[in-house]
Amino acid sequence: MLVPSGMTKLLKSILVFSMSVLAIFCGYAFLRYDPGLTFKQTWMGYQLVEKVDWITLNLQAYGTLSIDYLVGVDGMNLCLLGLTAMVLWVASISSWTIESRVKGYVLSFLLMAGSIVGCFLALDFFLFFIFFEFMLLPMFFLIGLWGGPRKEYAAVKFFLYTLAGSVFILMTMIALYMSMIDPVETAVNFGLMKTGDVLTSEIVFEIQQLLATGSIPVEQIVHTFSIPYLSDESNLIPYSILSFESESLLWGIPVRNWGFFMITLGFLIKLPAIPFHTWLPDAHVEAPTAVSVVLAGLLLKVGAYGLLRIVLPVFPDLVVQYAFPLSVIGLISLIYGALNALGSSDLKRLVAYSSVSHMGYVVLGFAALTAEGLSGSLFQTLSHGIISPLLFLLVGVIYDRAHDRHRDNFTGLVQPMPVFVVFAMLAFFASMGIPGFSGFIAEILVILGAFKSAGFNQNIPRVVAILSTSGLFLSAAYYLYTARKMFFGVFWVKDKSIQDLMKDLTIREYVMLTPLLALAVIFGVYPQLLLEYINPAIERLTLIVEGK
């Protein structure tokens, strides 16, 4: 904020330096994290935890409101944190082409970066929601001020869709707060332990037993937004609005079910899944390349993360109950997104619809509720977070030279841009799910999970599992058609004035593209690098689903 607006090179350098520092800290977090520690050796399965009392209000007859600054990592969000560092660093380098309002762009980018990191690290639902909501503001301006011809329309549409999803999440968050207790603070209030005492399983069991029998006065109950506590059904207040015994109905449906519907809908809009996807293609088409990279690589992943981190642990019974409709939503997203990509001539719109299709695998793996399906869902989240930024950067290479993104306006690009075509073909193969790339591991895990679910827990019918394989053929269709159309044959561009501008990759573009492609190959050849961190978190989710 103190740098003069005219010093654009310094501002851009600050942006790249800041994202480099973030990457270093994330690397340090990986070094500090020990995937071999068991659940009992950590704070409820999380490491590097920081917890500070933030807001405490004594509401007398309504108990005590407690909101904490609570952050920490397990294998799930640690991997997403690493993805965040990589994508933001690459996007900061891509931002070097921004020429107008550079200071405002850099400020908005940094605010967005902090919000994304906070969202993935927050273990208090209220803190998570603040970061989740705050992401809207910088992203709205990044699209609305630095976007294309219809940038205002795309920015407003993005804002309204995401805000609507946030309202649904907020209503469920409030209901959860009213229905859950913090067992530690409640035990202190009730006199079972003193502040600073070591919490034991016996004290937790005792306070939960007292809660179940209604022996704790309402004014001594401490309500909480802590996600680990919300994930334990033993902390549910009997006959509260979201309890299993609650007789509260809305249009004949239990309020607990409505809470599940609203929070799931909020995260499906962010994902996005069919039919809540229409904001995404418009936002991608109008956004600058660097913003599209962050939007596809990270913001969509917050929706997937919310399903796995909050929805499944808090509402495992209802996820099981509604697994079939969720699997159908995933399947339709997968097929409909791929068909739209096949019919899109604008390269950005094509990649945007391919994102809708690939995020359908995330929903399908989530609905399978098997270890393979959930692992595939998270692996696809991470894999797509690497591959989709790579694809948008490649589209940006074409657009920077030609100011044109339509595949029908180019042929034979392999002649003036051979290295670019190599990168593009490898990125296409990665997104298609060809063996040797991370996309293959992710998609095969989801499909295996879907077939296992069809025979194991019957959450997904076998026909849905069979139809899910069609995504592999459809993605091959639109990528190979695009490659044949643009890269091979006689070199030709519709606008002859830009013919001499179609040069191969610059050093800056090599720096952006190479690490993303390398990661797609490394995690495709040796997926255990990620699975080592993912598996313990997925194992806990499967135990929650099984009621253990």
| Model confidence pLDDT, tens digit, residues 13-58 | 999 999 999 999 999 999 999 998 888 888 889 999 999 999 888 8
Does any domain span residue 235? Answer: no
How far apart, in whole angstroms, are the C-alpha atoms of residue 397 and residue 286?
A: 16
**416: exposed, middle or buried (Cβ count in 10 Å: 0-12, 13-18, 19+):** middle
CA–CA–CA angle 369, 124, 303 (5° rounding) = 45
Does any domain span residue 6? Answer: no
Dmax over CA atoms of the chain, in Å, equals 82
pLDDT digits (tens, 9 = 90+) for 474-492: 999 999 999 999 999 999 9
Residue 38: predicted pLDDT:
84
* Mean pLDDT over the full length of the chain: 92
- Please check the confidence at residue 376 and state whether its pLDDT lies above 80: yes
> Which of 73-77, 197-201, 290-294, 423-427 is least confident?
197-201
Does any domain span residue 252? Answer: no
Number of domains in the chain: 1
Does any domain span residue 432? Answer: yes
Does any domain span residue 362? Answer: yes
Range(s) of the domain holding residue 369 = 322-548
What is this structure's pTM? 0.94
Whether the CB-CB separation of 498 and 416 falls below 8 Å is answered with no
Q: Count of CB atoms within 10 A of residue 160's CB?
A: 12
Does any domain span residue 328? Answer: yes
How far apart, in whole angstroms, are the C-alpha atoms of residue 307 and residue 313?
A: 9
Does any domain span residue 410? Answer: yes
pLDDT class for 260, splitting at 50, 70, 90?
Answer: very high
Whether the CB-CB separation of 15 and 3 falls below 8 Å is answered with no
Does any domain span residue 69? Answer: no
